[in-house]
Amino acid sequence: GEWIYDIVLESSYGQLLDALAPVLKGRNEKNVKICIVTDSNVAKIHKNEVEEILKSGYSTVKTFVFESGEANKNLNTIEKLYEYLIINHFERNDLLIALGGGVVGDMTGFVAATYLRGIDFVQIPTTLLAQVDSSIGGKTGVDFAQYKNMVGAFNQPKLVYMNLDVLKTLPKEQFASGMAEALKSGLIRDQEYFIYLCDEIKAIQSLEQEAILRTVSGSCKIKREVVQNDPKEKGERALLNFGHTIGHAIEKLSDFTLYHGECVALGMVAAAYISFKSGNISKEDLEKIEHIISAYNLPIRLKTAKMSADDVLAATKSDKKMEDGRVKFVLLHAIGDAYISREVSDEMLSDGIRYVLQ
């Protein structure tokens, strides 16, 4: 397909109005209303600056704030946002702006897909996870009951504007969580990028500008390519689920007390182990993968009495990414080269799960 929106990487919000101008071109700019959607943490730290800038260019800028956390990524929050938009007379020509992490982005995109049958939205991702992964590609939605991302829509933003500088205020564990997705990008698609992440651990973790730019842009490029080839996940896009099949099961069974990236890290180790066991990657590659995941302060083993391997297997198999009762599982031929397998047996899955549950 054709790529229809800009992904802008900056180190401030200074270019935001310029980047928005083409998005809003042709609308009556005096009357266009903008609703910033953000969570309680981001509201405290970054909302004012973005609000001020937008207010200097547009007359109506409203802000909807909800309590942060995955627990609020649900239809309840969506309803409140619909109400807020109705009360403030938002119309189809107006604009929503997601200012925050993946939780904000996923919900804003879903509301944008459904409010008045569709209103435009822009992503301003503020977590590493959202910058390297969730803000790009147009998957939006919410959790429903205990089911993660069960209700949603494909809906592409009109612009993604990233200010890499905001990563400085991100808690360390959240940074690590985002690195899991960056490592995933390298593992499935780009050995060179993976090696870069291995070589520059210190520079990346201390947020050196050049290193962060390369980390974010490298992962965005991979995500964009994969999504562009397969926007609706009919094939290749499923590669982005590397580490997520078992990862999601662990996430669910932890009652979301573990971070998404931590669960993905464990899922990637399990998938790498299965790749090794099924004669794909070498022992050295498996060790290399575990080593780098660990170096970015992510778990490679889960020590918990609360979760049995059988529970994780059952949860893995009940995941929505099944076809004819078989899990579509992403394995590695090599570092930087993933493929989708429908041949992974329950026994193999179980071995992978046991490998990380110790």
Q: Which residues are catalytic?
A: 117, 139, 181, 223, 233, 237, 241, 244, 248, 260
**Among candidates 186, 178, 173, 143, which has minimal Cα distance to 162?**
178
Choose between 39 and 290: whose C-beta lies nearer to ligand NAD: 39
CB of 140 to ligand NAD, least distance (A): 6
How remote is the C-alpha of 258 from its chain's centroid?
A: 15
Cα distances (angstroms) measured from residue 137 to each of 109, 123, 131, 187, 323? 11, 11, 11, 19, 23
Instruction: Tell which positions 262-321 bind ligand NAD, by CB under 6 A.
Output: none
In this structure, what DSSP letter does residue 57 have?
Answer: T
Binding of residue 212 to ligand NAD (CB under 6 A): no
**Among candidates 301, 195, 340, 312, which has minimal Cα distance to 254?**
312
CB of 283 to ligand NAD, least distance (A): 30
Burial class (CB in 10 A: 0-12, 13-18, 19+), 153: middle
List alpha helices for the chain, DSSP H. 16-24, 40-45, 47-55, 75-87, 102-114, 128-129, 172-189, 191-199, 201-205, 209-229, 244-253, 260-277, 283-295, 309-317, 346-356
Choose between 245 and 280: whose C-beta lies nearer to ligand NAD: 245
- C-alpha–C-alpha distance, residues 8 and 3, integer Å: 14
Instruction: Print the binding letters for residues 97-116 with ligand NAD: x by CB under 6 A, - otherwise.
Output: ---xxxxx-x----------
Choose between 4 and 87: whose C-beta lies nearer to ligand NAD: 4
Choose between 257 and 358: whose C-beta lies nearer to ligand NAD: 257
Binding of residue 134 to ligand NAD (CB under 6 A): yes
Instruction: Tell which positions 247-266 bind ligand NAD, by CB under 6 A.
Output: 260
Q: How many CA atoms lie within 13 A of 199 on its CB side?
A: 9
CB of 7 to ligand NAD, least distance (A): 14
Among 155, 156, 174, 219, binds ligand NAD (CB under 6 A): 174
Binding of residue 124 to ligand NAD (CB under 6 A): no
Binding of residue 189 to ligand NAD (CB under 6 A): no
Instruction: Tell which positions 66-95 bind ligand NAD, by CB under 6 A.
Output: 68, 70, 73
Burial class (CB in 10 A: 0-12, 13-18, 19+), 208: middle
123: left (phi over 0), alpha (psi -120 to 50) or beta: beta
Q: To which residue do tokens 């669960």 refer?
A: 263
Binding of residue 156 to ligand NAD (CB under 6 A): no
Binding of residue 42 to ligand NAD (CB under 6 A): yes
Residue nearest to ligand NAD (CB): 102
Binding of residue 149 to ligand NAD (CB under 6 A): yes
DSSP string, 87-108: HTT--TTSEEEEEESHHHHHHH
CB of 229 to ligand NAD, least distance (A): 16
Choose between 174 and 280: whose C-beta lies nearer to ligand NAD: 174
Choose between 95 and 240: whose C-beta lies nearer to ligand NAD: 240
Pairing of strands 159-163, 120-125: parallel
Among 84, 94, 119, 139, binds ligand NAD (CB under 6 A): 139
CB of 347 to ligand NAD, least distance (A): 29
Residues that bind ligand NAD (CB under 6 A): 39, 41-42, 45, 68, 70, 73, 100-104, 106, 126-127, 129-130, 133-134, 137, 139, 149, 166, 169-170, 174, 177, 260
